[in-house]
Structure 1
Amino acid sequence: MISVDLFNQRVSCYHPVYMPLSSGLHKEEQMKLIGRGATAEVFDCGDGTVCKLFIPGCPVDAVKREYDNACLMEEMRLPVPKAHKLATLDSRVGIIYEKICGESALDKLAAGESVDGLMERFALLHKRIISCRTRQGMSYKQFLLSCIGRKIPDKEALYERIEGLPDADYLCHGDYHPGNVLVGGDGSWRVIDFMNVCYGPREYDAARTFFLLAQGELPQEVQSTEESLSIRRRLAALYLEKMQLDYQEIEGYLCIIRECRKYETPPARKEV
């Protein structure tokens, strides 16, 4: 049995912060801060929508890409919140999304729900996503190359390895992990966060999820210990089992993902 006590170290709530909407957004009122990540804050607009407001300096093109990706996934009839429109507040750009009531699959794990059952649903949803085919947006190679920035001598070998990877046209979420899956009170599952969406081999997206589960950055409030790392590795192994994949099928992608992660930074701070 896999224990997920490490997730209980997460701070699950904080004091609400309110901010006024300005003319760039859809109406004048106060919004309540309900979530915060590395690149954006999420505010409840109070009308059945939320505003995902990106950090100052985040490139408009990156926000538009997320909006387009969300629309693409909705068109494919995947379970995602509806993206209504782009919006601005002072120097910040955001997206107005349908509000989804529920908690993340990560919070469900932390609350002690069946790890096996949750990972079964988690894998089934991922299989559904990567069964879709498209060539809209960025290829996974373009995404990886954009992460590492300009082609300079010390990156040349990595560039060549990325360019030599196989091509494919399967939809890849690019950031699929339990924190980006919301479970509603009615048991429905919805996927969020679309900035890394691209297309490529299905094994690439599975490799990214495996990496995020086993080795991805922990929240600042979670201590990294030998026990927590062991739990994460076992959770990643269970994910692969539920996906019916062997480690050898994703190993080549994992090596590249590990190297590229050294260069991945929030859009506003990317060095090019």
Structure 2
Amino acid sequence: MGAELIATTATKKVYRDGDKAIKVFNEDFPKAEVLNEALITARVEETGGIKVPKVLEVSVFEGKWSITYEFIEGKTLKQLMDENPEKLPEYMDLMVDLHLNIMSKQCPLLNKLKDKMIRQIGDIDELTDSIRYDMHTRLDGMPKHTKLCHGDFNPSNIIVKDDQTMYVLDWVHATQGNASADVARTYLLFCLQDQKKADMYIDVFCRKTGTAKKYVQSWLPIVATAQLSKKRPEEAELLHRWANVFEYQ
């Protein structure tokens, strides 16, 4: 492949080939998950009103599944925040506005957020039956909405072009559900990196929407427990704390 390697993760490599970005997955990566990512992204793209890199092709290269996307030239919002800390309030304001635009949409063919979280909680072997029951009960008691939720909305998944147009990447975790659950997840993702940014993000969101901070925070134990299913050791301590796991021990 005559393309430039631009990113590597545990499950894939991403190449740039001119105006295309090619995501090549490891040989053992499940085919169903590759096809699902392409399908979810295409459905979000068809929703309209959100800048999303277009899916151009799904193929197999040397026994490895790949997805080819439109390449978006620019910097991630995380890069801009790191390079221009004095502009953090401005960037956070733009990020919340972008999140609100996403959550104003509906994509009825996507999986339901609650169903996905039920599966995630069920996949965590370390949880006791009492904790699992408590999380399912909390989840069942939350208001049921059908707003578009990104599922991994953070500054690294936002590309800002030179003209300030913002594109949102990595829709593989997108679902339809309660917007405050998606906000709680973004808050937790910020907490794993920078508590100041986490607090700023939730403050801006609640101010712009008139949402009580306590309501968003009521999602945190559920969202943190679901996030534990990803089995990332570096996240475990904080997520256990938010999930209130320790109070059961």
TM-score range, shorter chain: 0.7 to 0.9
Q: Counterparts of 1:224-263 in structure 2 under 5 Å?
A: 232-243=194-205, 244=207, 245-263=211-229
Per-residue CA deviation, residues 215-269 of structure 1 (Å, 9 max, x unaligned), is 3xx5xxxxxxxxxxxxx22211211222134321212211111112222259xxx
Task: State the alpha-carbon separation in 2 of the partners of residues 161 and 92 from structure 1.
Answer: 41
The 2-side partners of 1:97 and 1:33 are apart by 14
2:100 equivalent to 1:127: yes
Is there any run of 5+ residues in structure 1 with no aligned partner, and where? 1-19, 21-29, 219-231, 267-272
One-letter code aligned to 1:207: A
Instruction: Identify which of 166, 171, 181 aligns with 1:189.
Output: 166
1:55 is displaced (CA, Å) by 3.0
Is contact 1:56-1:91 (8 Å) kept? yes
- Cα deviation digits, residues 83-125 of structure 1 (max 9, x gap): 1121222332221100100110000011125001111111110
Larger RCO of the pair (alpha carbons < 8 Å, separation 6+): 1
SS at match of 1:205: helix
CA deviation after TM superposition for structure 1 residue 60, in Å:
1.7
Residue 116 of structure 1 corresponds to 89
- Counterpart for residue 128 of structure 2: 154
Report if the CA contact (8 A) 2:54-2:69 is conserved: yes
Equivalent-residue separation in structure 2 for 1:69 and 1:164 (angstroms) = 27
Output the CA distance in 1 between the equivalents of 2:141 and 2:10. 31
The residue type paired with residue 183 of structure 1 is V
- Equivalent residues in 2 for 1:167-246 (5 A)? 167-215=144-192, 232-243=194-205, 244=207, 245-246=211-212
More helix, by proportion: 2
Structure 2 counterpart of 1:72, one-letter code: R
Change in 2 beyond 3 A, CA 1:188/1:49: same
1:57 to partner: Cα distance: 2.0
CA-atom RMSD, angstroms? 2.1
Task: Indicate the residue corresponding to 1:11 in structure 2.
Answer: none
1:67-146 map, 5 Å: 67-77=38-48, 78-113=50-85, 114-146=87-119
Q: Is 1:53 matched up with 2:15?
A: no
Identity of counterpart residues, as a percentage?
Answer: 24
Task: State the TM-score, normalizing by the size of structure 1.
Answer: 0.75
Residue 142 of structure 1: how far off its partner (Å): 2.0
